[in-house]
Amino acid sequence: MITARIDRVTRIDAKDRHTLLPPPRSVKIELTGRCNYGCTFCARSMVLREQQDMDRPLFERLLR
Protein backbone atom coordinates (compact mmCIF):
# COMPACT_ATOMS: atom_id res chain seq x y z
CA MET A 1 0.00 0.00 0.00
CA ILE A 2 1.32 3.46 -0.88
CA THR A 3 0.79 4.92 2.60
CA ALA A 4 2.93 2.17 4.14
CA ARG A 5 5.74 2.99 1.70
CA ILE A 6 5.49 6.69 2.54
CA ASP A 7 5.54 5.92 6.26
CA ARG A 8 8.74 3.85 5.84
CA VAL A 9 10.45 6.74 4.06
CA THR A 10 9.23 9.58 6.26
CA ARG A 11 9.26 7.85 9.66
CA ILE A 12 11.64 9.48 12.14
CA ASP A 13 13.28 7.05 14.56
CA ALA A 14 12.65 7.64 18.25
CA LYS A 15 16.39 8.21 18.82
CA ASP A 16 16.18 11.23 16.51
CA ARG A 17 13.08 12.78 18.10
CA HIS A 18 14.71 14.96 20.74
CA THR A 19 14.90 18.67 21.36
CA LEU A 20 18.65 18.36 21.97
CA LEU A 21 20.35 16.83 18.98
CA PRO A 22 23.92 15.54 19.00
CA PRO A 23 26.62 17.92 17.75
CA PRO A 24 27.64 17.65 14.11
CA ARG A 25 30.51 15.31 13.28
CA SER A 26 32.36 18.09 11.48
CA VAL A 27 32.05 21.80 10.74
CA LYS A 28 33.62 24.27 8.36
CA ILE A 29 34.72 27.54 9.93
CA GLU A 30 35.39 30.52 7.71
CA LEU A 31 38.29 32.33 9.38
CA THR A 32 38.17 35.33 7.10
CA GLY A 33 35.64 37.01 4.86
CA ARG A 34 38.37 38.60 2.77
CA CYS A 35 39.09 37.33 -0.71
CA ASN A 36 40.92 38.71 -3.74
CA TYR A 37 39.10 36.55 -6.26
CA GLY A 38 36.13 37.80 -8.26
CA CYS A 39 34.20 34.58 -8.78
CA THR A 40 30.92 35.23 -10.56
CA PHE A 41 29.02 32.73 -8.40
CA CYS A 42 30.16 34.20 -5.08
CA ALA A 43 27.94 36.43 -2.95
CA ARG A 44 30.97 38.43 -1.76
CA SER A 45 30.28 41.11 -4.36
CA MET A 46 26.88 41.73 -2.74
CA VAL A 47 28.69 42.97 0.42
CA LEU A 48 26.26 41.32 2.83
CA ARG A 49 28.77 41.61 5.66
CA GLU A 50 32.10 43.18 6.45
CA GLN A 51 35.09 41.49 4.87
CA GLN A 52 37.29 40.95 7.88
CA ASP A 53 38.90 38.21 9.96
CA MET A 54 37.03 36.29 12.64
CA ASP A 55 37.64 37.52 16.18
CA ARG A 56 40.11 35.30 18.04
CA PRO A 57 37.82 34.88 21.12
CA LEU A 58 34.96 33.71 18.87
CA PHE A 59 37.25 31.21 17.15
CA GLU A 60 38.44 29.81 20.48
CA ARG A 61 34.86 29.56 21.74
CA LEU A 62 33.86 27.61 18.62
CA LEU A 63 36.74 25.22 19.14
CA ARG A 64 35.59 24.40 22.65
If DSSP states are collapsed to H, E and C, what string results for the chain?
CHHHHHHHHHCCCHHHCCCCCCCCCCCCCCCECCCCCCCCCCHHHHCCCCCCECCHHHHHHHHC
Overall number of domains in the chain: 1
pLDDT for the residue numbered 18: 75
> For the chain, what is the mean pLDDT?
82
pLDDT at 14 over 80: no
Whether the per-residue pLDDT at 53 is higher than 80: the answer is yes
Residue 39 lies in a domain: yes
Confidence grade of residue 24 (pLDDT, cut at 50, 70, 90): confident
pTM attached to this predicted model: 0.46
Tell me, yes or no, whether 47 lies in a domain.
yes
Full residue range of the structural domain in which residue 61 is found = 30-64
pLDDT of residue 54 exceeding 80, the answer is yes
**Is 90 exceeded by the pLDDT of residue 57?**
yes
